Structure 1
Amino acid sequence: MASAAAGRIPLLLLLVLAAAANVVHALNQDGIHLLDAKRSLTVPDAALSDWNPLHSTPCNWTGISCDSAAGAGAVTAVSLPSINLAGSFPEALCRIPTLESIDLSGNYIGPNLTSAAVARCKSLRRLDLSMNSLVGPLPDELAALPELVYLKLDSNNFSGGIPPSFGRFRRLQSLSLVYNLLSGEVPAFLAGVSTLRELNLSYNPFVPAPLPPELGDLTALRVLWLAGCNLVGAIPASLGKLRNLTDLDLSTNALTGVIPREITGMTSVVQIELYNNSLTGKIPNGFGKLTELRGIDFAMNRLFGAIPDDLFEAPKLESVHLYANLLTGPLPESVAKAAALSELRLFANRLNGTLPADFGKNSPLVCVDLSDNSISGEIPPAICDRGELEELLMLDNMLSGRIPDGLGRCRRLRRVRLSNNWLDGDVPAAVWGLPHMSLLELNDNRLTGVISPVIGGAANLSKLVLSNNRFTGSIPPEIGLVSKLYELSADGNMLSGPLPGSLGGLEELGRLVLRNNSLSGQLLRGIRSWKKLSELNLADNGFSGAIPAELGDLPVLNYLDLSGNGLTGEVPMQLENLKLNQFNVSNNQLSGPLPPQYATTAYRSSFLGNPGLCGDIAGLCADSQGRSRSRSGFAWMMRSIFIFAAVILVAGILWFYWRYRSFNNSKLSADRSKWSLTSFHKLSFSEYEILDCLDEDNVIGSGASGKVYKAVLSNGEVVAVKKLWGLKKGADIENGGQGSAADNSFEAEVKTLGKIRHKNIVKLWCSCTHNDIKLLVYEYMPNGSLGDVLHSSKAGLLDWSTRYKIALDAAEGLSYLHHDCVPAIVHRDVKSNNILLDAEFGARVADFGVAKVVEATVRGPKSMSVIAGSCGYIAPEYAYTLRVNEKSDIYSFGVVLLELVTGKPPVDPEFGEKDLVKWVCSTIDQKGVEHVLDSKLDMTFKDEINRVLNIGLLCASSLPINRPAMRRVVKMLQEVRAEATRPRLDKDGKLSPYYYEDTSDQGSSV
């Protein structure tokens, strides 16, 4: 019995071990392949945590779909978009025999996608690898996948031509290769893929070539997007054969010739976009018979002649963009019968005649822009009869008559611009108080009457421009209720009476221009709320009394004109607190001494016409009898002694300076033959010419890494020369044998910039070395750094359009470093002082002294031994992890965007213990977004400014996983301005002025 029991114990143990083995190996083969794929990638810790090898099937795992029809636990789809996966395309996925769909978009898959990697995906129907880091040629083997229906490879860095094999897809219906680096021509062989329904090759740098007429043979095609493809020549008439086409986009090319009449044969077309080409001739008749047409955009071409009468007869037509052409004649009468028309943009043409009287009566108009034409007659009284109108822009025409009363019932109106016409009469009272109005621009007309007290109801009014009309009466006290008012310009009218005290409580006021009126009384006191006021112009009125000392407490005031009034008293000493670009108090009755800061000849014209003013400015006032013409001999003697001592001191300083410069130049010039020059571009100068320019008189900057000189060469070219600081002997030992900081900075700069060629990264011409002296020669940037301009009195040079351009330029430079360099480069010190500005305020990313190459390893980003970066720009996680990756640059760039929007530096005593990011977030939470926007910016662009603010906050997210890739940031910034001009179909197929295409398939980004 005992022996029998002993024999059963090993048997029981074997059974237990076998059961355990079965548990370990319970996962089916598809799950094993998925785990293999996961192991080949770098996966964030929080992602795919439910991929458990103890499960029997992977069907409940994140991103995995199964289909019982294909077999028990058979995986048919893998969908893992935007979870920060990194590494090569996981070939293990293609070992799953039933896999039909792969979506890895919005990750960091790369760098290569080889034919071998995809060849085994024989069952694949859908492949989406858009928004990744793939480079090199498109794999030939993709065309051999027998079941492939949908292929989306947008926003990568694929290069070379589209391979001929792509003309042999068997079942492909959708091909999208947008935003790559594809070259060659748009290939005619794609016409061989007869199953194609969508073809999108937009925004690739193809060589200039015609649009292949063979594409007209793709009779199943529904979408043809070839925007930004370098297309030249005429639009082929063969496109008229595409009877199933719904969307045609050939915009932003160099197409010439006429719009072919055959194009009106696309009977299913919904939207046609031909804007930004060089098309000529007349718009053909026939578009009116297209029953599905909802939008046309032929803007920015050279089209001439009249707008066809039948154009507005298309029954579903909603949007017409024909602006910036050479169109003539009147607006067709048929426009008044367009039952679906919501958006009409015809500005910058040569249209004339009068507008149809019933225009707007039958159309749900939302936006009408007829500016910059020669249209005459009255504004149609029915233009807002449907109550949908939000924008009415008719500036720079010859319109006459009264502003229609119907506009006062147009409760959705946001922007009205009727300036520079011949309008007359009173403004309807209700127009002043429209609740959603943000811009009311009526300047340069013949309008009369008063500013109605109803204006107190204009809760959203930001800009009120009434200049050069015939308005009378006083400014109503109700103006103080318009809490969002940024600009009030009413110069050149006949306004009278005092300034209402309520005006002093407008916290958002940035510009107050009331020049050349008949206003009187004393200037306002208690104006400390004007913290954002940058311009105050009250010249040529009848103001009296003293200049308020409180003006000196306004933090951003840089334009002050109080000339041509009857002001008395002294010029307040507090005005010395201001940094004024324009200052004028001439032609008043001021008296007394001048503040010392202004008692110079530079301000002479600021004080003319005030006989009572005293100062040392020659010619400002007559010799005062209070100054004795005879001076004591002792006084003359003391002055002579002082002058003699000053001469001796200046002579001593000049001698010392000459000796120092001679020593410094002799050190640089010694042993010239031993200087080593390494060039990175073709040079027209030698190292000796550079050395001759290293004079202290040429120093234009000095920073942590060295001193910068401006060098004007013999050929007239200007370059910037950085001389890196040297360290004392023994520094290498102190640095742990790793080399001096100067050596490391020099090597990083040369290694990084020497191989980079990008329009938004500063160009490094060459480097020069000799012993411990190291020189770097760059292209010269005449406007200095963004930080210097933005946070100084020169900030007025940066209007919103300039700031937006700088933001986009810098983003494109960083995107190149992160996505287009192989391996990628992390800057590590992105800040406004390292963004340089050329003569046209184009931006270049500069200073790569601490840049690092990102080495892809299975262990993730490499750690640094020290923190690089600048206070206020360092990402939160960088301080405690020392991990180097692109996310830290993106955070820093987010801070730069916030600087551009707020005008404030990254750290400031105003913030207390907070930095700019925290200050913006807390201020928005407590007071609203208006309290963080730079008061110097034109709030006409408020929507764009808010969008860029949102992008900046997204980039500066405290969680790295939430920060978008720089390529995505570039795209979001482009969409900020694109949304003003490119309406698209919404998700219901309806064209709307509020929804715009986002090619990432993630909806509107901002």
Structure 2
Amino acid sequence: MKMSFSPPLCFLIMLSLLSLSSFNVSCRGQEQEDGSSGAPMERGEQEALYSAIQGFVGKWWNGSDLYPDPCGWTPIQGVDCDLYNGWWYVSALNVGPVYENSLRCAQDARLTHHLFELKHLTTLSIYSCFSSPRRNPVRLPIFSWGALSNTLESLELRSNPGLVGTVPASVGSLKRLQSLVLLENGLAGPLPMELGNLIRLKRLVLSTNGFAGQIPPALGGLNSLLILDCSRNNLSGQLPLTFGGLTSLLKLDLSGNSNLDAPLPGELGNLRNLTLLDLGGNKISGGLIRGIQEMVSLKEIVMSNNPTLRGDLTGIEWAKLEDLEVLDLSNTGLTGRIPESMTRLKRLRFLGLSDNSLWGTPPPELASLPCISALYLNGNNLTGQLDFPGTFYGKMGRRFGAWNNPNLCHRLPLTSSSSLAVNVPFGVRPCSRAGNASGNRTVSSLLIAEMSEGDDDLHRDLQIEVSSGWPSRGVNGSGWGSTSKEMMALVWVLLLVMFE
């Protein structure tokens, strides 16, 4: 049977055939010279990528078979690519157990020279890869970093205890670097002064290594720096005076170095944009600098566990720090009174003044701070009456500390139950009539406290009944008059005074 086609149908069939022909030509046009399909990638770039990954995961990994087109149809997890002049190049390499199908390192993982042959690498991240400093210690290459000086913008080496040795000076040649994170590794030795050449750096995190020696003053020239974290190392000496030039800095954390032992430089007061200052766990001396009150953006000040700091709190106008939320000055050798200006820190959530030598009576306005959720005054020489409301103690619980102040006492609050232990500060004795700490005159002090509270008859009746064992109602069931009740309370006070 002969088939016939109308002219419109013939046109559609021819158009479809032409489309299929174009598709086949397009696919063939994308084939590379080595026969693999996908977007074009330089052979040298591809081989360098495969060899660099093999250094991390082991020689069993055959990239050319598993991922013949690593930037196209068969991408590798952790590898990002960008087009340059019509060719694919690796722009980011992330190694480590970030995702389930991420590249995971072998026990004998190592850094190979192929890594530095990736011509357009901007980001290198190695996480939890070099795990054993004994079985497989790995050192950063000394001379290779210059090959990435015009491309690398982010270098992050995290949680690699097997990464040992020093930071080579050649890292300072990475002139485009914006983020340098060397966190929780086994690195040690002095910090190279060449780090001061990284003038585009915005984040410098060197925390939790074994770095020793003084902080290079050259770091003070990193004018674009936003975050500087050298915490939990073995750094020593003083904070460089040049740090006053880090005017863009938002976070400065030098805590846990143990051997930073000089006074704070007054130049720190220039850091008007700083929101976090953490210098805890050192041996800083010389007291708090007045320049702290000029750091008006501060949200957190942590100076705890610097027992040689000393000085007092009265030389600083705390009210200027309107954004302050955390102030931890515990175990810093402070003396003197708690200044009234601290009671105007309306955003303060945490105030730690424990384990010092502070004296005087705590300002009662501290309990009225609208955001306060933790207040520690324990371990001082505070005296007098702790005049905070019972509701404050109930709200704070153990987040309020005033114990280990032998001459500090509290005023027993009114309660609506028979338990006198409700809403009282832990470890603080009730006051006697003279306002001193006493442990055996709770009833008389309770009555005096009740009488001074005002006209809350119900609470007063309940407390008299609990204290004396006498009913607070008359024989006919009606309540006593206010004059009778006041007289009865006075009689009990006089009796207790006579027989004490």
Is the structural similarity TM-score above 0.5? Answer: yes
Change (3 A) 1:402 1:644: closer
Instruction: Report the Cα distance in structure 2 between the residues aligned to 1:359 and 1:388, rounded to whole angstroms.
Output: 16
Corresponding letter in the other structure for 1:490:
L
Correspondence 1:594 to 2:386: yes
Q: What residue identity is the alignment partner of 1:363? A: L
SS of the residue 2:172 aligns to: coil
Q: Which residue of 120, 139, 155 maps to 1:368?
A: 155
1:146–1:170 CA contact under 8 A, matched in 2: yes
Question: Given residue 410 of structure 1, which amino acid in structure 2 is its aligned partner?
Answer: L
> Match of 1:468?
256
- Is the CA contact 1:559–1:582 (under 8 Å) kept in the aligned structure 2? yes
Tell me how far 1:383 sits from its aligned partner: 0.5
Q: 2:236 aligns with which of 423, 448, 468?
A: 448
Counterpart position of 2:173:
385
Using the alignment, how far apart are the partners of 1:240 and 1:530 within structure 2?
Answer: 67
Q: SS of the residue aligned with 1:326?
A: coil
- 2:124 corresponds, among 344, 359, 367, to 344
Change (3 A) 1:301 1:491: closer
Matching residue within 288, 291, 294 for 1:499: 288
Q: Is the 8 A contact 2:93 2:123 kept in 1?
A: no
Q: Which amino acid aligns with 1:346?
A: I
Amino acid of the structure 1 residue aligned with 2:379: N
- Measured in 2, the distance between the counterparts of 1:262 and 1:500 equals 64
Say which of 330, 334, 346 aligns to 1:555: 346
Unpaired segments ≥5 residues, structure 1: 1-121, 123-143, 148-167, 174-191, 197-217, 224-238, 249-256, 278-290, 305-321, 650-1006
The amino acid across from 1:519 in the alignment is L
Paired-residue identity, %: 24
* Equivalent residue in structure 1 for 2:64, among 261, 264, 269: 261
> Quick check: 1:402–1:426 contact (8 Å CA) kept in 2?
yes
SS at match of 2:211: strand
Q: Is the 8 A contact 1:550 1:574 kept in 2?
A: no
Q: Does 1:620 align with 2:449?
A: no
Task: Report how far residue 272 of structure 1 moved.
Answer: 7.1
Partners of 2:123 and 2:153 within 8 A in 1: yes
The verdict on how the C-alpha distance between 1:424 and 1:297 changes in structure 2, with shifts beyond 3 A counting, is closer
Give the Cα separation in 2 of the matches to 1:533 and 1:382: 40
Matches within 5 A, 1:46-57: none
Which residue in the other structure is 1:395 paired with? 183
* Contact 1:270/1:294, CA 8 A, preserved across alignment: no
Residue 413 of structure 1, CA deviation: 1.2
Q: Could you list the runs of 5+ residues in structure 2 that have no partner in the other structure?
A: 1-7, 47-59, 80-86, 132-136, 413-423, 452-456, 473-500
Aligned partners of 1:549, 1:170: CA distance in 2, in Å?
A: 87
Q: Write out per-residue CA displacement over residues 586-606 of structure 1, whole angstroms, 9 at most, x where no aligned residue.
A: 111111222323663655651
1:265 offset after TM fit, Å? Answer: 5.0
Q: Distance in 2 between matches of 1:586 and 1:499?
A: 21
Q: Give the TM-score normalised by the residue count of structure 1.
A: 0.35
Q: Is the 8 A contact 2:89 2:120 kept in 1?
A: no
Shift of 1:541: 0.7
Q: Which AA in structure 1 matches 2:385? A: P
The AA in structure 1 aligned to 2:387 is: P
The CA deviation string for residues 309-337 of structure 1, in whole angstroms up to 9 with x for no partner, is xxxxxxxxxxxxx9773344221144456
Q: Which residue pairs with 2:310 in the alignment?
A: 520
2:105 equivalent among 311, 326, 330? 326
Tell me how far apart the structure 2 counterparts of residues 169 and 589 of structure 1 sit (CA, whole Å).
95
Matches within 5 A, 1:161-560: 171=19, 193-194=23-24, 218-221=27-30, 241-242=36-37, 244-245=39-40, 260-262=63-65, 266=69, 273-275=75-77, 293-295=89-91, 297=93, 325-328=104-107, 329-336=109-116, 340-350=120-130, 352-364=137-149, 365-373=152-160, 374-469=162-257, 470-517=259-306, 518-523=308-313, 524-560=315-351
Does residue 609 in structure 1 map to residue 417 in structure 2? no
1:417: how far off?
0.9
Q: Structure 1 residues 265 and 473 mapped into 2: Cα distance closer, same or farther (>3 Å)?
A: same
**CA separation in 2, counterparts of 1:528 and 1:323?**
50
For the residue of structure 2 that corresponds to 1:372, the secondary structure is strand
TM-score (norm 2): 0.68
* Contact 2:91 2:122 (C-alpha < 8 Å) held by counterparts: no
Tell me if the contact between 1:586 and 1:609 (Cα under 8 Å) persists in the aligned partners.
yes
Q: 8 Å contact 2:277–2:300 — kept in the other structure?
A: yes
How far off its partner does 1:487 sit?
A: 0.5
Bigger drift between 462-471 and 620-629 goes to 620-629
Match of 1:18 in 2: none
Aligned residues between the structures? 393
CA distance in 2: counterparts of 1:547 and 1:444, whole angstroms: 30
Given that residues 323 and 349 in structure 1 are in contact (C-alpha distance below 8 angstroms), is that contact kept between their aligned partners in structure 2? no
The corresponding residue for 1:131 is none
Cα distance in 2 for residues equivalent to 1:458 and 1:294: 34
C-alpha distance 146-508 of structure 1, shift in aligned 2 (>3 A): farther
Matching of residues 823-834 of structure 1 within 5 Å: none
Residue of structure 2 equivalent to 1:566:
357
| Change in 2 beyond 3 A, CA 1:543/1:346 | same
Q: Secondary structure at the match of 2:319?
A: coil
RMSD (Å) for aligned C-alpha atoms: 4.2
Q: Partner residue of 1:10? A: none
Residue identity matched to 1:473: A
Contact 1:448–1:471 (Cα < 8 Å) also in 2: yes
CA shift at 1:645, angstroms?
A: 11
SS at match of 1:400: strand
Q: Could you say what secondary structure the match of 1:387 adopts?
A: coil
Asked if 1 retains the 8 angstrom alpha-carbon contact of 2:385 and 2:431, the reply is no
Distance (whole Å) between structure 1 residues aligned to residue 201 and residue 378 of structure 2: 42
Paired AA for residue 348 in structure 1: S
Kindly tell me: are residues 362 and 298 of structure 1, through their superposed partners in 2, closer, same or farther at Cα, counting changes over 3 Å?
Answer: closer
Shift of 1:294: 3.0
CA distance 1:427–1:302, shift in 2 (3 Å): closer
Give yes or no for contact 1:219–1:244 (8 Å, CA) kept in 2.
Answer: no
Letter in 1 for 2:432: S
